Amino acid sequence: MGARSQEEFAEKARRVSALVQEVEAVPDEGGRRSAIAAIQALLELHGDALVRILELAGPEAAERVAQDPGLAALLILHGVHPHTLEQRVAGALERVRPYLESHGGGVELLGLDEGAVRLRLQGSCHGCPSSTATLRYAIEEALGEAAPELERVDVEGVVEPPAAAPGFVPLGAIQRPPSGEPGSRAEWYEVAGLETLQPGRALTREVGGVGVTFCVLGATRYAYVDRCAGCGASLEGTNVEDGTLACPGCGRRYDVRGAGRGVDDPSLQLEPLPLLRRDGALRVSIPASAGVA
């Protein structure tokens, strides 16, 4: 299923969800019960048919179907996904692990318990102000695709606003809002030309309406919002020197591998953006709040 087909599939799924909510809000109790019963019967019919199709097609077909995010969600809904919840969660974390490691961090799966997954952020990620963004724009999205039945995520090592309970991030608080509503929804954009960007070099582009500075350190590519955390100027024209990016305007330096922390002033930090290889291409995740001072 191509990117456009996946988006159309997701839009239809959101439409179905909205219609079900409307049915559940029908004031006539008898009519509401009948409508819900009809929906459940239809789901069971489709579920039984799906099970039979997979039985006839064989286990290899189920594995192929499970690779498609939209179809995988249907397999999960009907309880016929070839992988267990723990396997899917572990696989999702493996997909984002390269991004975390590129910033000197990591993530450990502590366990699963009654619809909740417990994680620990490690290294540079632990206790880092950008850890919340990392969770929101990378880990949460990967978990949401692989295990939509999860009810919440408990995370050790996340810095949250004072109002939040220590060490706990409810999944509902970090999920993207429905299309069209304000919030911090993140979108993934393919970025051409990064494959040829040489080590030590940087380039600045507008992606999804946000200025982004890309750079290469060693064999790893990084992405940051194009704004100096000190003076607010663009980073365009900078390059990587001794593992740092320097603001062309004020000269402040930032640790590329250390999630953009200030070298001269550790209280300052660039805003890192997840840059992952998805569907064979390098893509950057741009949240709605990116670049907001």
The residue segments making up the domain with residue 266 are 188-287
Q: 148-159, pLDDT tens digit by residue? A: 888 888 887 655
DSSP state of 248: T
CATH code of the domain in which 223 resides: 2.102.10.10
Residue 170, pLDDT score: 36
Which residue numbers in the chain have pLDDT < 70? Answer: 1-7, 10, 103, 124-137, 157-185, 279, 289-293
Residue 139 falls inside a structural domain: yes
Contact call for residues 272 and 255 (beta carbons, < 8 A): no
How confident is the model at residue 229, as a pLDDT? Answer: 93
* CATH code, domain with 163: 3.30.300.130
Q: Are residues 53 and 96 in the same domain?
A: no
- pLDDT of 232 reads 93
- Phi then psi for residue 222, to 5 deg, are -130, 160
Last residue of a domain, one of 29, 46, 75: 75
Return the residue matching tokens 């290294």.
Answer: 123
CA atoms within 13 Å, Cβ hemisphere of 138: 28
What's the domain count of the chain? 3
Q: What is the pTM of this model?
A: 0.59
pLDDT at 133: 61
pLDDT of residue 5: 60
pLDDT value for 178: 37
- 104/176 Cα distance (integer angstroms): 26
Nearest to 293, CA basis, from 247, 239, 225: 225
Strands of 220-225's sheet in order across: 202-207, 210-217, 220-225
The answer to the question of residue 34 being in a domain is yes
Residues 111, 154: Cα–Cα separation, whole Å: 10
